[in-house]
Amino acid sequence: MKKIRIGGGQGFWGDLIDAPVVMAKEDQVDYICCDYLAELTLSIMRRQQERKPEAGYARDFITSLKQMLPYLVEKKTKVITNAGGMNVKSCVAKVKEIIRESGYHLKVGYVLGDDVRELIPQLRKLGITMKHMDTGEDIDTILPRMVNANVYYGIEPIVKCLQDGADIIILGRSTDTAMFEAPLVYEFGWSMTDWDAKATGILAGHLCECGAQATGGNYDYDWKHVPSMENLGYPIAEVSEKGSLILTKTKNTGGLVTPQSTKEQLMYEIHDPSQYITPDVVADFSQITVEQIEKDHVLLKGVKGKPAPDTLKLCVGYLEGYRNIAYLPYSWPDALEKAKMAADILDKRLAMKDTKITRKKH
């Protein structure tokens, strides 16, 4: 039975640059998906672009891609990323430049259209309503202060890029999960109305989109005993044509994949487990079961899907004053022990980079 392996190589803008490189080198995956975007990230990128027109995308991706290229070519691994942020075209140009300089021949696809800030007045004239999902406040009240407005699109344009033979796909504000769902729909030929199959793709994306959170990096259950935290492996979803899903991680790395770590990520940022809404499918996680089938391999069953909504979500950033706070919080219980472990991990990671630090004690 055909099986596709999709790795989550980045969980946020500023994540470990070498994580997708290690995955490409140490393991054999069909796709590596790198997620850089959050709601605030888009506003920050817009501000960068205002100061420097060619900026506004995740330059971290370029650093990683340079090191990944030999392994991508050797193993025929494709990459999908939303590193394009607010400036997809500039990101594409840079990607093409480093591919050309490397001497490799890879096809780059990209998706535009999520940035609708300039279209909003026109859309409002057409009678399209845009109200806050929680308060019902009309978007007109913040239009003068708007920084960015991006639509969360789904898998259709990503699937089209794959059908056209793209090896690397650069996105703006797709949903995080669409990056993982699209390859499965493409590879297996799933129907766009096979809701249970598409919900499996959403589940794979939800488990992998946050990087090492699912492999021990954000693990409350037994955090003291996560092995080699300084060398955490990143998550990989193994999905079969029939829709079975196994979560594992990059070979030869630290971290872990257990039912407990999987459950913690499964419930992360989920408001209603029975109604996980995406533009592709409404996924129902409420009946999922998890089972450890071997070390660092967890089988998930029972995800269901329902028809997608008729509307799309719009991410809007706008000026509302200024605040600048920087801190590293560690919550009860065992807050001090957690902070000490974090410091130890940082020391080890810096040592891996041959960097020496002097720590001040207070």
In tens, the pLDDT along 211-250 reads: 999 999 999 999 999 999 999 999 999 999 888 999 999 9
pLDDT band at 305 (very low <50, low <70, confident <90, very high): very high
pLDDT at 185 over 90: yes
Asked if residue 121 has a cis previous peptide bond (ω within 30° of 0), the answer is no
User: Which of 103-112, 173-182, 243-252, 325-334 shows the lowest mean pLDDT across its residues?
Assistant: 325-334
Burial, 276: exposed, middle or buried (Cβ in 10 Å; 0-12, 13-18, 19+)? buried
| Tokens read off for 76 | 């025929």
pLDDT band at 1 (very low <50, low <70, confident <90, very high): confident
When mean pLDDT is compared over 175-179, 311-315, 345-349, the highest value belongs to 175-179
pLDDT band at 321 (very low <50, low <70, confident <90, very high): confident
pLDDT above 90 as % of the chain: 79
Higher pLDDT, 351 or 166: 166
Nearest alpha carbon to residue 227 among 335, 328, 332, 348: 348
pLDDT band at 359 (very low <50, low <70, confident <90, very high): low
Per-residue pLDDT averaged across 57-77, rounded? 97
286 within 8 A of 306, measured Cβ to Cβ: no
User: Which of 13-22, 235-244, 314-323 shows the lowest mean pLDDT across its residues?
Assistant: 314-323
The pLDDT value recorded for residue 320 is 84
The pLDDT value recorded for residue 60 is 96
Higher pLDDT, 351 or 113: 113
pLDDT at 327 over 90: no
pLDDT at 65 over 80: yes
User: Helices 178-188 and 156-163 meet at what angle, rounded to 10?
Assistant: 50
Neighbours of 14 (CB within 10 A): 11
| Tokens read off for 90 | 């500039």
pLDDT band at 208 (very low <50, low <70, confident <90, very high): very high
The pLDDT value recorded for residue 62 is 97
CA distance 310 to 314: 13
The string of pLDDT tens digits covering residues 112-129 is 999 999 999 899 889 888
The pLDDT value recorded for residue 328 is 75
The pLDDT value recorded for residue 358 is 65
pLDDT at 326 over 80: no
User: Which of 13-22, 96-105, 342-351 shows the lowest mean pLDDT across its residues?
Assistant: 342-351
The pLDDT value recorded for residue 226 is 95
Per-residue pLDDT averaged across 37-55, rounded? 94
Distances (CA, A) of 229 to 83, 124, 330, 346: 26, 50, 16, 10
pLDDT band at 360 (very low <50, low <70, confident <90, very high): low
